């Protein structure tokens, strides 16, 4: 499936369900009308999938939803294995990759790149500008604690008011979203694209089919 543009009106909000790891929950995301399916390749995460699972899920997703491969400071060999297995439409870099590394990954693999930026202060939002013109999409997520085992998916929100009037062209909102708060988050920030993981789970790392449907519906009605 061709990469989904996030430069949309709020009425046509783009929805990404991240951390999918089973055919059932991938099917639920597709059935609910989500635009993007995120697959995590990071062994410390409870949502991590192996390459064999990636091949299976990639085939199931084909032509129905955009596939996003989430990695954390992965080297080129690891990225190549993931690209070969999943055939993603996007690479999501969720680690400490600097702009030069983002540009290098984009050039090497010929895929659009989503760069996650942790936010706790206005300074973090300002720092994201260094990725403009390099990353295709900037994903604003809650900044993890210094000793956090994983850089996202913790169900923690940040102060959405920090994103009021954000200048980035193509960006997504993540961090602590769920079916109950996504509409408010979109109104406050003006986000046209949202990303959820733990907010649609029944337990850590295990997606809930009903919550996936509810989240997509709430985002589209905002």
pLDDT in tens, 4-32: 655 444 447 899 999 999 999 999 999 99
Q: Which residue has the higher pLDDT, 222 or 161?
A: 161
pLDDT at 149: 55
Structure confidence at residue 151 (pLDDT)? 61
Query: Would you state the pLDDT for residue 183?
Result: 96
Q: Is 57 exposed, middle or buried (0-12, 13-18, 19+ CB in 10 A)?
A: buried
CA distance 161 to 126: 14
Q: Where in the sequence numbering do the catalytic residues fall? A: 18, 141
Q: Which token pair is 80?
A: 């190549």
> Which tens digit of pLDDT belongs to each residue from 60-98?
998 899 999 999 999 999 999 999 999 999 999 999 999
Q: What is the pLDDT of residue 169?
A: 72
pLDDT at 158: 92
**CATH architecture of residue range(s) 10-221:** Alpha-Beta Barrel (3.20)
Predicted confidence (pLDDT) at residue 108 exceeds the cutoff of 50 = yes
Choose the weakest-confidence range: 58-62, 120-124, 156-160, 197-201. 156-160
For the segment 176-203, the average pLDDT, to the nearest whole number, is: 95
Choice among 37-41, 42-46, 145-149, 210-214 with the minimum mean pLDDT: 145-149
The pLDDT, as a whole number, for residue 128 is: 93
pTM value is 0.91
Average pLDDT, the chain: 91
pLDDT tier for residue 37 given thresholds of 50, 70 and 90: very high
- Range with the poorest average pLDDT among 142-146, 185-189, 207-211: 142-146
Give per-residue pLDDT as tens, 128-168: 999 998 999 999 999 876 665 556 556 788 999 999 878 66
């Amino acid at each position: 499936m061709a990469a989904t543009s996030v430069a949309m009106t709020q009425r046509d909000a783009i929805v990404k369900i991240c951390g999918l790891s089973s055919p059932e929950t991938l099917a639920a995301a597709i059935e609910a009308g989500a635009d993007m399916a995120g697959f995590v390749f990071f062994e410390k995460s409870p949502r991590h999938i192996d390459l064999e699972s990636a091949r299976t899920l990639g085939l199931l997703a084909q032509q129905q939803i955009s596939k996003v491969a989430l990695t954390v400071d992965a080297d080129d060999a690891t990225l190549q294995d993931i690209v070969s297995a999943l055939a993603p439409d996007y690479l999501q870099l969720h680690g400490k990759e600097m702009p030069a590394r983002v540009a290098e990954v984009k050039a090497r693999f010929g895929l659009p790149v989503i760069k996650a930026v942790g936010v706790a202060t206005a300074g973090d939002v300002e720092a994201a500008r260094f990725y403009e013109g390099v990353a295709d999409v900037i994903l604003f997520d809650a900044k993890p604690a210094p000793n956090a085992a994983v850089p996202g998916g913790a169900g923690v929100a940040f102060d959405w008011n920090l994103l009021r009037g954000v200048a980035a062209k193509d960006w997504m909102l993540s961090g602590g979203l769920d079916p109950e708060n996504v509409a408010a988050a979109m109104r406050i920030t003006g986000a046209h694209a949202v990303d959820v993981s733990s907010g649609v789970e029944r337990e850590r790392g295990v997606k809930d089919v009903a919550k996936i449907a509810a989240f997509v519906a709430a985002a589209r009605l905002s």
